[in-house]
């Protein structure tokens, strides 16, 4: 919007910076945006995060350029575990205010913490997998994945809500109450969490009512009288004795006695047969185990013999390999000398960068290397560094390391080459080589401009290794 008097653009302000005219509509819009921002800030301070989100979103509806409201909205999203939404708000904030914006620091902190980015990625994957299991009807597997989510990201409120709902569905009310209570600690007035908690209270009341009804029914159960009233027949009555009942009782008694006799006679014989079969099976299994142990011993002896032979072959290969490296080194030195004699200094320096001086035999070869190095280093080193940095910029870190190593072969005091090679090794997750590069800068070039950055990245490596507790070959760090 432009000033109606002088036409000066009004950027996130209602007072013209040129003529000091106050535009009334713009003033009302900005004040309304700031009003809702203040309400959102007050709610965020008492951990009413869902209320804060609603107020901040209303503030941005009035003024989308209110970077304070957008930055606070990103922080609130981050507190609820919605890291992607938080980053989106901060990126938009930087777009509206590129200079002096604290959102740039928030983005940088998240991007530089590769462990946190990996946790965020794993959280999203596990949450989506839980949703997939729910669509397939596998509630138990969904609970397992959601437990992983809340362990990875204890602030992810949506995961707490879904896990509490599944616990209610499985009638695990105590576990549901515990999970939903955690969600309420993170966001006190979250409508969804409060609704689930009220549902849980209703279930508890229904269970109590059911128990009370059962107690009332139990109170009205008829009690059997131990001394019932018996009405005796008169003396003149006569009843025939029922012989069929007596026959049935005799048959039943005979069946019981027969079953008892069969049990006493047959059961011991059956148990004896089973014991004999069990002992025979034990003997057979023992003989099989003995044969298997003999086979295992024989195979282990063969493995030991093959291992010794393999170690000998490796030693021979190492010797042959070192000899081949030495011969290849001399061939490169000869090739570099030929190129120099042909006045092709660029090719001579490039080939010389692949020569390892420590593998050269004899003082004469080393003198030739030193002579060629002094003649070609200044010509080639800039070209090699440019190629190395081009590979580095294209994220081709393997070739970048190779060319930075060539630069250091020609000029071992290139602190910039040491630093960039260390970064390339760090991206390749070769943390041992990265440590060597950073330690070289810190110990030998402590006064250089790269020393502080080297210490920072070295501490990142140490913290990541200590957190993971695994060998240093995890997923590579990003930019």
Mean pLDDT score, 137-154: 90
Mean pLDDT score, 23-41: 85
What's the CA gap between 363 and 60, in Å, rounded?
75
Who wins on pLDDT, 470 or 160? 160
* This prediction's pTM: 0.40
Give the tens place of pLDDT for each residue, 262-292.
777 777 777 777 777 777 788 877 778 878 8
Any idea what the Cα angle at residue 270 is, between residues 264 and 276, rounded to 5°? 135
Q: Are 312 and 370 in contact (CB under 8 A)?
A: no
Count Cα atoms within 13 angstroms, Cβ side, for 166. Answer: 23
What Cα–Cα distance (Å) separates residue 5 from each residue in 9, 12, 25, 30, 86? 11, 17, 14, 19, 39
What Cα–Cα distance (Å) separates residue 455 from each residue in 114, 413, 422, 460? 17, 18, 12, 9
Q: Are 166 and 139 in contact (CB under 8 A)?
A: yes
The alpha carbon dihedral of 82, 88, 94, 97 has a sign of: negative
Residue 20 is predicted with a pLDDT of: 65
Residue 242 is predicted with a pLDDT of: 52
Mean pLDDT score, 135-164: 90
Give the largest Cα separation in the chain, rounded. 151
Residue 235 is predicted with a pLDDT of: 42
Q: Are 29 and 62 in contact (CB under 8 A)?
A: yes
User: DSSP secondary structure string, 277-335?
Assistant: HHHHHHHHHHHHHHHHHHHHHHHHHHHHHHHHHHHHHHHHHHHHHHHHHHHHHHHHHHH
DSSP state of 233: P
φ/ψ (deg, to 5) at 7? 80, 10
- Alpha helices (runs of H) in 17-82, residue ranges in sequence order: 24-45, 49-62, 67-79
Residue 291 is predicted with a pLDDT of: 80
What's the CA gap between 404 and 420, in Å, rounded?
8
Residue 288 is predicted with a pLDDT of: 83
Give the tens place of pLDDT for each residue, 185-218.
888 888 888 888 888 887 766 666 656 555 655 5
Query: Of 292, 363, 359, whose CA–CA distance to 330 is shortest?
Result: 359
Q: Which of 98-107, 310-319, 430-439, 468-477 has the highest mean pLDDT?
A: 430-439
What's the CA gap between 323 and 317, in Å, rounded?
10
> Residue 96 contacts by C-beta under 8 Å, 6 or more apart in sequence?
12, 64, 65, 67, 70
What's the CA gap between 237 and 228, in Å, rounded?
22
Residue 55 is predicted with a pLDDT of: 93
Helix axes 157-169, 173-186, angle to 10 degrees: 160
Mean pLDDT score, 434-456: 92
Q: Are 417 and 411 in contact (CB under 8 A)?
A: yes
Give the tens place of pLDDT for each residue, 53-110.
999 999 999 888 888 999 999 999 988 888 889 889 999 988 888 888 898 898 988 8
Query: Of 113, 114, 111, 92, whose CA–CA distance to 103 is shortest?
Result: 92
- By percentage, how much of the chain surpasses pLDDT 90? 19
pLDDT band at 7 (very low <50, low <70, confident <90, very high): low
The residues that bridge with 9 in the sheet, in sequence order, are 2
What's the CA gap between 439 and 462, in Å, rounded?
13
Which tokens in the block code for residue 297? Answer: 């011993």
Who wins on pLDDT, 294 or 454? 454
Residue 14 is predicted with a pLDDT of: 63
- By percentage, how much of the chain surpasses pLDDT 70? 80
Whether residue 343 is predicted with pLDDT greater than 70 in this model: the reply is no
The residues that bridge with 2 in the sheet, in sequence order, are 9
Q: Which of 2-6, 233-237, 329-333 has the highest mean pLDDT?
A: 329-333
Whether residue 387 is predicted with pLDDT greater than 80 in this model: the reply is yes
Residue 478 is predicted with a pLDDT of: 42
> Residue 337 contacts by C-beta under 8 Å, 6 or more apart in sequence?
348, 368, 372
Q: Are 45 and 61 in contact (CB under 8 A)?
A: no
What's the CA gap between 392 and 412, in Å, rounded?
19
Residue 364 is predicted with a pLDDT of: 76
What Cα–Cα distance (Å) separates residue 221 from each residue in 211, 288, 319, 333, 401? 16, 65, 96, 107, 88
Residue 187 is predicted with a pLDDT of: 86
Give the tens place of pLDDT for each residue, 349-386.
777 777 777 777 778 777 777 777 777 766 678 888 88
The alpha carbon dihedral of 59, 64, 68, 71 has a sign of: positive
């Amino acid at each position: 919007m432009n000033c109606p008097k002088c036409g000066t653009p009004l950027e996130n302000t209602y007072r013209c910076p040129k003529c000091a005219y106050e535009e009334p509509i713009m003033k009302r819009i900005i004040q309304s945006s700031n009003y809702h921002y203040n309400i959102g800030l007050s709610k965020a301070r008492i951990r009413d995060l869902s209320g804060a989100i609603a107020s901040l979103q209303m503030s941005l509806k009035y003024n989308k350029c209110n970077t304070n409201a957008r930055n606070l909205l990103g922080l609130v999203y981050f507190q609820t575990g919605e890291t992607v939404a938080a980053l989106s708000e901060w990126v938009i904030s930087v777009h509206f205010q590129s200079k002096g914006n604290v959102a740039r620091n928030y983005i940088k902190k998240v991007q530089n913490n590769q462990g946190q980015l990996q946790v965020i990625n794993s959280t999203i994957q596990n949450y989506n997998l839980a949703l997939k299991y729910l669509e397939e009807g596998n509630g138990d597997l969904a609970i397992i994945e959601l437990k992983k989510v809340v362990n990875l990201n204890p602030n992810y409120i949506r995961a707490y809500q879904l896990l509490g709902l599944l616990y209610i569905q499985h009638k695990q009310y105590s576990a549901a109450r515990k999970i939903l209570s955690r969600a309420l600690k993170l966001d006190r007035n979250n409508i969804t969490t409060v609704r689930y908690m009220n549902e849980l209270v209703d279930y508890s009341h229904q269970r109590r009512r059911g128990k009370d009804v059962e107690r009332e029914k139990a109170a009205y159960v008829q009690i059997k009288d131990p001394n019932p009233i018996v009405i005796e027949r008169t003396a003149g009555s006569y009843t025939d004795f029922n012989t069929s009942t007596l026959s049935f009782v005799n048959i039943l008694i005979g069946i019981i006695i027969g079953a008892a006799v069969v049990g006493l006679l047959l059961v011991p014989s059956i148990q004896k047969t089973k014991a004999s079969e069990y002992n025979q099976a034990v003997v057979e299994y023992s003989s099989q185990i003995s044969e298997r142990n003999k086979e295992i011993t024989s195979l282990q002896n063969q493995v030991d013999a093959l291992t010794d032979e393999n170690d000998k072959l490796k030693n021979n290969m190492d010797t042959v390999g070192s000899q081949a490296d030495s011969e290849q080194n001399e061939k490169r030195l000869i090739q570099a000398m030929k190129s120099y004699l042909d006045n092709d200094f660029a090719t001579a320096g490039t080939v010389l960068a692949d020569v390892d001086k420590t593998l050269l035999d004899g003082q004469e070869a080393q003198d030739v290397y030193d002579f060629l190095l002094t003649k070609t280093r200044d010509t080639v080193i800039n070209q090699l560094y440019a190629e190395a940095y081009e590979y580095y910029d294209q994220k081709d870190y393997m070739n970048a390391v190779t060319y930075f190593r060539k630069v250091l072969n020609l000029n071992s005091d290139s602190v910039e080459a040491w630093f960039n090679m260390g970064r390339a090794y760090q991206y390749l997750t070769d943390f041992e080589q990265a440590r060597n590069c950073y330690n070289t800068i810190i110990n030998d070039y402590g006064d250089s401009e790269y020393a502080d950055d080297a210490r920072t990245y070295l501490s990142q490596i140490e913290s990541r290794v200590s957190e993971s507790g695994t060998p240093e070959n995890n997923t590579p760090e990003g930019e």
